[in-house]
């Protein structure tokens, strides 16, 4: 072991032992959001930016979450790319359109958009419910997943919440209603709340915050 590696790891150990309580207290909170069927209307493998349509109240709700101090991070499976049905450039254009609509209707600003471009048969490490993308976002934005939420319309979104150590809220838009009807029995990763829409999901989260404070 060289002197340099020794001193670097010693410095790291020192930082860790000196800092933890403060660093933990200063961590950010986030709402990890599914895209299709949650923020924008579900369209089977959307590939036309002109067809991006926000759910009613979505922009307003996201602005409210932002004001309450939550980072807003999209975590989305876009297997249409891996299946060869849509190219990555189009997916970027769809995201830009969604951001423009959000900003125009309420001024809400997304902090980041993460997506998995792989097909299910690629067995990649980033496809929901695997928590890799959430973990990356937590590192990048200094987020505490345990004090954060995942909102989505699928079982995979709530499984993701469980895998990441966050709290899952199911919305009944998109595939939500069918998913809730076929929810696996005896699972300990049920959503903490089932909301009619993103708007009611966020109203519930923000309202709960006020009670806890």
Residue 36 CB, nearest approach to Mg ion (Å): 4
Distance CA 11, CA 13 (A): 5
Chosen from Zn ion, Mg ion, none, partner binding at 126 (C-beta under 5 to 8 Å by type): Zn ion
- Name which of 60 and 175 has its Cβ closer to Mg ion: 175
Site pattern 105..144 for Zn ion (x: CB under 5 A): -----------x-x-----x-xx-----------------
- DSSP per position, 28-54: BEEEEE--BTTTB---TT---GGG--B
- Name which of 124 and 206 has its Cβ closer to Zn ion: 124
User: φ, ψ for residue 173 (rounded to 5)?
Assistant: -80, 175
Residue 43 CB, nearest approach to Zn ion (Å): 21
Distance CA 50, CA 62 (A): 21
Residue 14 CB, nearest approach to Mg ion (Å): 44
Residue 28 CB, nearest approach to Mg ion (Å): 24
Distance CA 109, CA 72 (A): 8
- Name which of 37 and 145 has its Cβ closer to Mg ion: 37
From the candidates 36, 111, 122, 157, give the one annotated as an active-site residue. Answer: 36
Instruction: For residue 36, indicate whether it is catalytic.
Output: yes
Distance CA 172, CA 178 (A): 8
Instruction: For residue 153, indicate whether it is catalytic.
Output: no
- Name which of 33 and 126 has its Cβ closer to Zn ion: 126
C-alpha distances in Å from residue 12, one per residue of 9, 17, 19, 138:
5, 9, 11, 20
Catalytic residue IDs: 34, 36
């Amino acid at each position: 072991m060289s002197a340099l590696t020794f001193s670097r790891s010693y410095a790291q150990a020192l930082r860790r032992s000196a800092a933890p309580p403060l660093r933990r207290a200063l961590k950010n909170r986030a709402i990890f959001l599914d895209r299709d069927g949650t923020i924008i209307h579900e369209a089977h493998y959307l590939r036309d930016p002109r067809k991006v349509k926000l759910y009613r109240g979505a922009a307003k709700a996201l602005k409210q979450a932002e004001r309450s101090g939550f980072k807003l991070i999209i975590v989305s499976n876009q297997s249409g790319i891996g299946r060869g049905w849509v190219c990555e450039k189009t997916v970027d254009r769809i995201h830009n359109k969604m951001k423009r609509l959000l900003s125009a209707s309420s001024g809400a600003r997304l902090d980041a958009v993460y997506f998995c471009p792989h097909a299910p048969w690629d067995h990649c490490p980033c496809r929901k419910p695997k928590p890799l993308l959430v973990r990356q976002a937590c590192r990048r934005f200094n987020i505490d997943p345990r004090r954060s939420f995942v909102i989505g319309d699928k079982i995979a979104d709530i499984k993701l919440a469980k895998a990441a150590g966050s709290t899952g809220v199911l919305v009944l838009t998109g595939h939500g209603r069918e998913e809730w009807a076929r929810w696996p029995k005896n699972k300990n990763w049920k959503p903490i709340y089932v909301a009619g829409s993103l708007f009611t999901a966020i109203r519930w989260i923000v309202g709960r915050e006020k009670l806890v404070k």
